[in-house]
Structure 1
Amino acid sequence: MKAWTYSEYGGVEVLKLDSDFEVPEAKEDQVLIKVVAAALNPIDFKRRSGIIKATDAPLPVIPGYDVAGVVVKVGSKVKELKEGDEVYGDIIEPAIIRPTKFGTLAEYTAADEKLLALKPKNLDFVQAAALPLAIETAYEGLEAAGFSEGKSILVLGGAGGVGVFVIQLAKHVFGASKIAATSSTAKLEFLKSLGADLAIDYTKQNFEDLPEKFDVVYDAVGQSDKAVKVVKEGGSVVVIAGAATPPGFRFIITSNGEVLKKLNPYLESGKVKPVIDPKGPFPFEKVNDAFSYLETNHATGKVVIYPIP
C-alpha cells in the first residue's frame, strides 16, 4: 500500500511517501480500515521530532492518529463492527505510551474496535476525520476539570483544533454559564459563532488582567503560568500544551470510542460541528505541505488529508 513514513526523527524533511509498505494485519480485537480521510494533530509532529522516542514503536513509522474510513476486515473477537461500516476514531491509545507503528496516513490501517465509533450519518469522511483526537481531548479534559452546568470557562486558543470543541462542548453538552476564549484579531467573530460569550484578542489584551475569574481555564496554548491568575479559588486549569503551573494539571487524552458514541447525537443534531481549516483538505501527495502549515500554529480548526488513494 501507499503510506507516508519516516525512518528517523526530525522535521518535515524526514517524511517519505512509500509506495510499497506492508498492509497491517488486523488482530482478533481489531478491524482493518480502508482510510478515506485522515487528520493531523500537534502530537504527530511532536512524535516525529522524537519527543516520545523512549516509548515509541520501532522505526519506520506511519504517522497519524485520526481516521475516517470503511471497515474491510474484522478480527475474530470483534463484537459490533462489520465489513462495510463507515467508522471514525483516534486509533492510538494512549497518546504517548506505546503508539502503534501503523498510523492513519496510509491506504489502510488497523484499529482496536474499542477506539472506534460509527461515523455520524450527517457528516462526510472529511468532517468525521476532523473530530476524534481533538473532540475527545476537549471532552475528557472538561470532565477531568470537573466542569459542569452553570460553571464559567476561559479557553486559551479557542480557534485551534481542540479549542473549537472545548467552546462547543462547554456550551451544548456541559451547559456553561459563560464562555470566554482567546484568539487573534481575525478570528474573534469566529469564536462567537462557536458559542463564546466573550472573545478576547490576545494581540491587544492580556487575558490575565481580566477583572473576572473563571471556574475552569482550558489552556491549549501553553500559558499556564498566566492561566492560574484568572481561575477562581478551588477551580481548575487544564493544560494540554507545555508544563503545568500549580494548581494547573497536565492532561493527555486516552482514546475512547465510547466518548465518540456519546457525542454522536450532538454531532448528528448539528449542535456540535467539526471545523476544518479553509486551506484544506490537503491531498495525500501533499502531506508534507500539510504538516508544514500545521506547524506554523496558525491553523483554524483541523488540517485534514483527503482524498487518500
Structure 2
Amino acid sequence: MASVPSVQKAWIYSEYGKSGDVLKYEESFPVPELKEDQVLIKVVAASLNPLDFKRMAGVLKHFDTPRPVNLGYDFAGVVVKLGSQVKKFKVGDEVYGDTLERVQEFKQFGSLAEYTATEERLLALKPNNLSFVEAASFPLAIETAYQGLERAELSAGKSVLVLGGAGGVGTMAIQLAKQVFGASRVAATASTAKLELLRSLGADLAIDYTKQNFEELPEKFDVVFDGVGEGEKAVKAVKGGGKVLSIVPPPTPPTIEFYLTATATILEKLKPYLESGKVKPVLDPNSPFSFSKTLEAFSYLETSRATGKVVVHPIP
C-alpha cells in the first residue's frame, strides 16, 4: 500500500444551508487521525442519505461537530491502516460500513472523501459478489430497516405495510420483511412508475399513493413501517394491538420514534442473504454519480424522487 497522505480531496460544508449554497469541494482537507479502535479506509464508493442534507441544513445542529464538516456516512473501500486495538481486519481487506454509530454522535470526518476512519464495530468484510458501488448502498439503509422491523416486533406470520417502499430504507424493509422476518403479507406504497419495483422486491400488495389512500383500505396491518413521515395516516392503517414505527420525526402517538444505532453485527448477520441474492441492492438508475458531480447527486436526492440509493463513485 502507498503511504497515506496528510490531506485529501473531500466535500465539506462550513456553514448551514442548502447543498447548492454551502457544499464545497476541498482539495486539501485533513485525512483523519486514527484512534486505537478505528480503521482507516481508502474510499471507493459512498452513498448519500437524507440525513446528510438535513444535517447540512442545520436541522440537527445541536448534535453537530465543529465545522468544517466532511459529509457522508455509508461507504465501501479498502483498509489502509489499523488502530492499535483493531483485531478483525488487515490492510488490503475490502470492507463496507458507515462512519456514524448514532445521530447524537456526529463526526467531523465522513465518507465523501478519499479516506475515512471508522470504528471496527461499524465495519464488515464486503461480500465477494457485491461491487463496491452495490456494497456502499447498503449500510445505513439495511441496518435501519432491520433494527426498525425488529423494534416493531415483526415476526413470521405477521403482516406489514411499508410506507415509502421505493426509497433507500423502504426497498430494504420490503426485502427483509419477506426474506428474513418471514412476514405473511407485505404491502408497500410508491408512485405509479415504481409499483413494479415493489412487486419485484417481494411486496404482495403494491399501493399507488397517487391514486389510493392507504389509510382507507379495509385491510389493516400488524406492523406499519413509516419511512416518509405519514403521521396520523400511518396510525389509521394498523390493527388493534399492532405497532407503528416511524424513522421520520416527530411521530404521532402511539407511533414508536426510531433512531438507528449502527452496528456491523447486522451486516454480518445478513451476509448470507446478500451473498445468495435473496436481499439485493437497489441503486437509483442515475447512480453512480462521479465524485465531481456530488452536488448534482445531492440536488437529485433532495427532490425525494430517487429510487433506492444514490451512490457516488469513483472517488479519486
Taking structure 2 as the reference length, what is the TM-score of the superposition?
Answer: 0.97
User: Given the alignment, which residue of 51, 57, 65 partners 1:57?
Assistant: 65
Matched residues in 2 for 1:224 and 1:128: separation?
A: 32
Matched AA of 1:31:
V
Give 1:79 deviation, angstroms. Answer: 1.1
User: Residue 108 in 1 paired to residue 133 in 2?
Assistant: no
Deviations 1:210-234 (A, max 9, x none): 1011000000011021011110111
Q: Which residue of 1 aligns with 2:44?
A: 36
Matched residue of 2:242: which SS? strand
Q: Which residue of 2 aligns with 1:91?
A: 99
Q: Distance in 2 between matches of 1:75 and 1:294?
A: 34
In the alignment, the residues of structure 2 paired with residue 231 and residue 54 of structure 1 have an alpha-carbon distance, to the nearest angstrom, of 34
Partner residue of 1:48 out of 44, 49, 56: 56
Amino acid across the alignment from 2:235 = V
Q: Which runs of 5+ in 1 are unaligned?
A: none
**Which residue of 2 is the match for residue 20 of structure 1?**
28
Q: Give how far 1:98 is off.
A: 2.2
In structure 2, C-alpha distance between the alignment counterparts of 1:97 and 1:154, rounded to whole Å: 28
Structure 1 residue aligned with 2:250, among 233, 236, 243? 243
- After superposition, what is the alpha-carbon deviation per residue over 1:26-68, rounded to whole angstroms, capped at 9, x for unaligned? 1110010000000000000000001111121100000001010
**Structure 2 residue matching 1:162: 3-state secondary structure:** helix
**Helix, strand or coil at the partner of 1:163:** helix
Matches within 5 A, 1:199-210: 199-210=206-217
Partner of 1:233: 240
Structure 2 residue 200 is the aligned partner of structure 1 residue 196 = no
Residue identity matched to 1:116: L
Indicate the residue corresponding to 2:4 in structure 1.
none
Aligned-residue sequence identity (percent) comes to 67
- Pair 1:7-2:10 in alignment: no
Within 2, Cα distance between the matches of 1:14 and 1:112? 28
RMSD between aligned alpha carbons? 0.6
Q: Is the 8 A contact 1:36 1:125 kept in 2?
A: yes
Residue of structure 1 aligned with 2:130, choices 123, 128, 132: 123
1:71 to 61, 66, 79: 79
What's the CA shift for 1:107? 0.1
Instruction: Specify the SS of the correspondent of 2:92.
Output: coil
CA deviation after TM superposition for structure 1 residue 280, in Å: 1.2
* One-letter amino acid of the counterpart of residue 121, structure 1: N
TM-fit CA distance, 1:127: 0.0
Structure 2 stretches of 5 or more lacking a match? 1-7
Residue equivalent to 2:146:
139
1:173 aligns with 2:180: yes
Shift of the alpha carbon at 1:93? 1.0
1:289 aligns with 2:296: yes
User: 1:101 Cα shift?
Assistant: 0.3
Amino acid at match of 1:55: F
Matched residues in 2 for 1:99 and 1:185: separation?
37
